[in-house]
Amino acid sequence: MESQPALPSPPSALSRRLSVVAARERGVGAEQLRLIGVDPDIFEIFYREHVEAVQRFVVRRVGDRERAADLTTEIFLAAVDSAHGYRPRRGAPRPWLFGIARAVVANDGRQRDRQRVGEERLRGGALLDEDDAARLDERIDAAARSRQLYRAMDRLPRRERTILELVAIDELSLKEAAAAAGMHPATARVRLHRARRKLRTELETTATRPILIKEQQ
Amino acid sequence: MTQQRKPDDNFEERLLTRLKAEVAERGAAAARREAEEASTAAPAWRRRGPRLALGGGVALAAVATALAVNAGSGSSSRAFAVEVQDGGGVTIRVYSPEDAPGLEAALAEAGIRSQVTWLPAGMTCREPRYTPSTAKTAMGGSIGGMTMAGPGPAMTIGVMTAEQYREIFEEYQRGDISGDEFVSSTGNVTLDPTGLGPDQSVVISGAPGPSPDLSVIVNGPTGPYTVDPEGGYEANFGIAEGPVEPCESVEAPPGGSLEEMNRVIEEEAAERGINATTPGAPSGQDSP
């Protein structure tokens, strides 16, 4: 029993309900996040809060709609999987979810087999119909510029690139991005500064300035 | 929460339906596991061994199921246990709604004035009988009132200073204690004795339960209340400013439909701006 991951101790059904009330009012906060893996109502609130941001996150990196749908699904499943281990000091729910999204997208293709051998994994791509496909394609097109920028960042060191991605492309605040990337905020600030400087030089030498790299404190 | 409403049938809604089913399955599995553990294992707080002591310094005999243990200063009670934390704070675990004077004494020893009333099943106190107020908690927030319900110990009350709370929180952050231990060290209400004003006191009332309406909330209209073979209870916790009138026992209002009960709960929660503490999740900020 000791070796099991720490699950939330059984909250009474009433306190669960009160958590749902609180979540509806204020969104799923750090207090309720550990429940998203076991309480469908709280999960729903969490999902509605973040599904659009997660999809945007995915289509900025992936140009294929089936894969985007799969990855969106994988990200929420991974969030459900790891919710019981959530600790507030790892960041607020949003950066926590972006941290998961980063890991899932980075491990795309590798982790599916490893994580749940023999178990039928829910596939997002199978849930798409024609309307969805068109809608998702629009989003993917809209994100094309981001993916260009993304490629322009290829030459940056990994950690600098990560922090710039999260701030410039995903529009997280520096603090949120640092939490999502698992960096100290001060370190993240230095890396962000370096990354912007390098990228600016890079973009200037290619004679076009297609994208404004937002200055943000 | 600014998510715009979407048409009913699209990828996002279909995915939500599937994911909710997945979560519901996990929730059911977790509940089964918890029920099994509760019936076979010692409660989490006993695992801490040396950290555990009783209010009166009485040695704790090994109790197989430990749903009720002796506690209190000399007086013997099967109703609640007082666990002294390393930093000097205490956690009081109420296993059954009995021995109101004993619980008042235990709280007084920890520095909290209180009025505790336990009633027969199906009864409640006629309200209002005091001026509701809020008090600072050890976690740095404040609490007005809350209802705790379920199998014993549905209500756990921590009494410790913010500093003592922070020490436990830091132990948890360092990984010295598990999340479960952290939760069980702090109670689902953790009061700071210095956070109560001179005219403030804690008011607790409750009854073995669940009361008819509560069973509707817990189980839906039909399900049995099976989590705890000993039965559970419901306890109301409040902070009073000024005098508290004695509890006049009246019949608990009859239960309505599930929707109606939900509506009432949500209204109450909205009115109180409720601090719905989740026992499973450490609340409070990164560092208090």
Q: What is the pLDDT of residues B99-152, one digit of tens each?
A: 899 999 999 988 999 999 998 877 888 888 999 888 888 877 778 777 776 666
* Residue A88 sits at the chain B interface (C-beta within 8 Å): yes
* pLDDT of the residue at B125: 87
pLDDT at position B254: 52
Candidate from A7, A35, A55 with C-beta closest to B278: A35
pLDDT in tens, B81-100: 888 877 778 888 888 888 89
Of B33, B47, B283, the CB nearest to A31: B283
Cβ distance of A48 and B278 shorter than 8 Å: no
User: Of A118, A117, A211, A196, nearest to A164 (Cα)?
Assistant: A196
The minimal CB distance from A14 to the residues B47, B217, B266 is found for B217
The pLDDT assigned to B112 comes to: 93
For residue A12, give how far its alpha carbon lies from the nearest alpha carbon of chain B (Å): 5
Q: How far apart are CA B276 and CA B264, in angstroms?
A: 15
Element (H, E) at A194: helix A185-205
Q: Which positions 166-195 of A are in contact with B (Cβ < 8 Å)? A: none
- Cβ contact (<8 Å) for B26 and A38? yes
Taking CB atoms and an 8 Å cutoff, what residues of chain A touch B10?
A: 129, 131-132, 135
Q: Is the CB of A8 less than 8 angstroms away from the CB of B280?
A: yes
* Residues of chain A positioned with their CB less than 8 A from the CB of B218: 12-14
Q: How many residues does chain B have?
A: 288
Most confident of A161-170, B14-23, B25-34: B14-23
pLDDT of B270: 66
Pairs across A and B, CB distance < 8 A: 181
Tell me which H or E stretch contains B220: none
Amino acid A10: pLDDT = 43
Judged by CB atoms closer than 8 Å, whether chains meet at B173 and A89 is answered as: yes
Report helix, strand and coil shares of chain B as percent, to nearest 5.
35, 20, 45
Gap between the terminal Cα atoms of chain B: 27
Cβ pair A9:B180 closer than 8 A:
yes
Closest-CA residue of chain A to B6: A48
Determine phi and psi for B81, rounding to 5 degrees.
-125, 145
For the full predicted model, state whether its pTM sits above 0.95.
Answer: no
Mean pLDDT of B32-57: 43
B19 and A47 in contact by Cβ < 8 A?
yes
Interface of A with B in 32-71 (CB under 8 A): 32-40, 43-44, 47-49, 51-52, 55, 69
Locus of tokens 């999204």: A101
Mean pLDDT within B63-70: 27
Quick check: A38 and B23 CB within 8 A? yes
DSSP H helices, B110-220, are 162-174, 179-186, 212-219
pLDDT in tens, chain A (217 residues): 333 333 344 455 566 666 777 777 777 888 788 888 888 888 999 999 999 999 988 988 888 888 889 899 999 999 998 888 887 776 788 888 998 898 888 776 554 444 444 345 677 777 788 888 888 888 887 777 677 677 777 778 888 888 888 888 788 888 888 888 888 888 899 888 888 888 777 666 554 444 444 444 3
Q: Which residue, chain included where needed, has tokens 């199978």?
A: A126
* Cα–Cα dist A211/B17, whole Å: 38
Q: A134 in contact with B at a CB cutoff of 8 Å? A: no
Nearest C-alpha of chain B: how many angstroms from A157?
30
Residue owning tokens 């890396």: A191
What does the alpha-carbon distance between residue B178 and residue B171 come to, in Å, rounded to a whole number?
9
Which token pair is A83? 């919710």
Structure tokens belonging to residue A213 = 């790299």
Q: What is the pLDDT of residues A31-67, one digit of tens each?
A: 788 888 888 888 999 999 999 999 988 988 888 888 8
> B15 to chain A: which residues are within 8 Å by CB?
51, 69, 72-73, 76, 124, 127
Which pairing describes strands B90-94 and B80-84: parallel, antiparallel, or unpaired?
Answer: antiparallel
pLDDT at position A46? 94
